Structure 1
């Protein structure tokens, strides 16, 4: 005989948990939008607080921050889009000639290219079938949905940044006095890891963007600035970002000459090794400490749940989970959470005071 006893409070908690899971499942897209907004809020909050401490109205500070982000993103699109369209049109028009150049180059290296027939295969490509009207409509719908989602995230992030002091005070009203130091420590840990990761990623993206632009300028490849900006954005995407950063620039260089393509490819691959082995461990050394398997699983799960946006948010979410796990393991072993440095990583000085 199995006898199960549960208190009324425990029963209410169990029912609330089931209802919460049901609501989260039904409202999953909204949950992801809210999580994304909190991640961006954690990254931008130190800068907003820095401006507020220097006498700028909080609403004005948030608007200035968002205006700067919109200006940067708009500039990136304005620079990259025309160059990508131009390169694609050139590739489409001259693909048989480029295929012949590939065969000639491979033959000079000693490969047997008699059966490759690359120019004939390139000439037989039906571009109208590859880029059909239905696909254009489908991608157009995705762009519209993505744009609306981005606007929603921007508005929600702005609200969180403006109301963050009030939201913090509201949250702490429901926490017992003896638990407030632990809650403050936990929130600071989340802000530090998630915000530090996002800001660190911006630094690595800026570096690879400048490096790619310099390499393409030195090798006299057209649209060097555009491909540098594309590499900076691609660096945000874990695992596959390196391919996106290297391949378009190499293809553009090959349209000039195979020698330029080899130089660009080698230079960008060398940088990828430098970033993976030297730069990233030092940039994220104090904020993100995840095993490679966890990174891979987080990226795959993010891609399955939310596509490209899920890939971008996978590592911040995994880092937040790591904070939760480390915090409670540390409390169980030592009776206190891990001590944090006083300053945020890659954030302005003078952190906000404890409420």
Structure 2
């Protein structure tokens, strides 16, 4: 007997599930953690200049650690640190009172004469027609601004000098305290880590303590050689603001590949102010130094202390300059120098088995290409 129609309809009827409101339960502990993380990010952002200064202080302290250990053979560590502080203080005073005043004076003169230089190149004595056509097409015939007034409104040389001297003094104090009390601070921090992490940290520091000082010393030598060469070259050829341009070249010499090309532009512009013949002379002899630096000096440094491909070095520089400018590039290069140690000690469990042996074999081949 067939069931009634009403019973069949009731049997086939399916109730639709009632949608429940979506709710996310967050515990108070999670909220506290999120707020703490946000506060730490805010704190890191506010203290970022101090963190950068502390990083470079650690770098310098690690670089001078072999010297301190050598001095400790004949004197106590406090006496060795005092002697090192005396030497660094003398160098700092020499920098502030002997090099900075003429350097600041030259920068001020350059700022004041920028409109004159632009007008000179637009109307003047060198590739006249080409420069005039390009300048009037890009800037327009009446669009040369009075740059000296705008620059003086943004920042005065005196304020910049005071800020620079204060930063150097704080950097000097950080470095001395790290030399004197760095080991105690290290022992105080170690109990926060597990035993396995402590072993990794100790092994990393033991190897990096040999790499970083040698690398910093090599880069310092390269910068001093470059700055001295540029100063002598520009002085002999009569290029104005030789000290300023030499200081710029010395700072940018720590940037492989691109430092030379960045410093080349202002050097050639100032050489062009003198004469086209001076421009050709400076370009030729500065190019000769670049060949010496690329084929002899830098490969000698990097073959021993920076066993990375040229692409990785260039990428580190670009990333550092994008994040923090020249200081960022300088900060990332020592990290790149220490990367093989970090890779072997910290990253080995997460990499394929062939990665570490392959990189070690490539390091032993000591194959370093010219830094051009």
Please say which of residues 210-219 and 90-99 is displaced more in the overlay: 90-99
2:280 alignment counterpart: 262
2:104 to 72, 81, 85: 81
State the Cα distance separating 1:157 from its structure 2 match: 1.8
Q: State the distance in 1 between where 2:340 and 2:147 align.
A: 48
Instruction: Note closer, same or farther for the CA distance 1:275–1:321 as it changes in structure 2 (3 Å cut).
Output: same
Who wins on radius of gyration, i.e. which is larger? 2
Q: Which runs of 5+ in 2 are unaligned?
A: 1-31, 361-372
SS in 2 for 1:125: coil
Q: State the distance in 2 between where 1:253 and 1:265 align.
A: 9
2:177 alignment counterpart: 159
1:66 equivalent to 2:88? Answer: yes
Instruction: Note closer, same or farther for the CA distance 1:141–1:254 as it changes in structure 2 (3 Å cut).
Output: same
Q: State the distance in 1 between where 2:57 and 2:275 align.
A: 45
Q: State the distance in 1 between where 2:132 and 2:170 align.
A: 56
Preserved CA contact (<8 Å) 2:200 2:346: no
**What is the number of residues matched between the two proteins?**
318
Preserved CA contact (<8 Å) 2:114 2:148: no
1:136 equivalent to 2:155? Answer: yes
List per-residue Cα deviations over 1:300-355 (Å, max 9, x = no partner).
3333443332222121123233321134567997999x8xxxxxxxxxxxxxxxxx
List per-residue Cα deviations over 1:228-270 (Å, max 9, x = no partner).
3332123234555323432333222222111101210222133
Q: State the distance in 2 between where 1:129 and 1:205 align.
A: 31
Preserved CA contact (<8 Å) 2:208 2:338: yes
Q: State the distance in 2 between where 1:163 and 1:226 align.
A: 37
Q: State the distance in 1 between where 2:297 and 2:151 align.
A: 42
List per-residue Cα deviations over 1:11-63 (Å, max 9, x = no partner).
xxxx99x9789746742525444333211211222233333434370341242
Please say which of residues 54-63 and 188-197 is displaced more in the overlay: 54-63
2:237 alignment counterpart: 219
| Higher RCO structure (Cα 8 Å, ≥6 apart) | 1
2:121 alignment counterpart: 98
1:125 alignment counterpart: 144
Instruction: Note closer, same or farther for the CA distance 1:19–1:262 as it changes in structure 2 (3 Å cut).
Output: same
Question: Which aligned pairs between 1:1-355 and structure 2 lie closer than 5 A?
Answer: 23=40, 26-27=43-44, 29=48, 30-55=50-75, 57-74=79-96, 75-101=98-124, 104-105=126-127, 115-116=133-134, 124-128=143-147, 131=150, 135-136=154-155, 149-167=167-185, 184-238=202-256, 240-328=258-346
Q: State the distance in 1 between where 2:39 and 2:132 align.
A: 62
Instruction: Note closer, same or farther for the CA distance 1:78–1:117 as it changes in structure 2 (3 Å cut).
Output: closer
Instruction: Note closer, same or farther for the CA distance 1:319–1:330 as it changes in structure 2 (3 Å cut).
Output: same
Preserved CA contact (<8 Å) 1:213 1:228: yes
TM-score by length of structure 1 reads: 0.70
Preserved CA contact (<8 Å) 2:112 2:148: no
Q: State the distance in 1 between where 2:273 and 2:341 align.
A: 47
- What RMSD, in angstroms, separates the aligned Cα atoms of the two structures? 4.2
Q: Which runs of 5+ in 1 are unaligned?
A: 1-14, 339-355
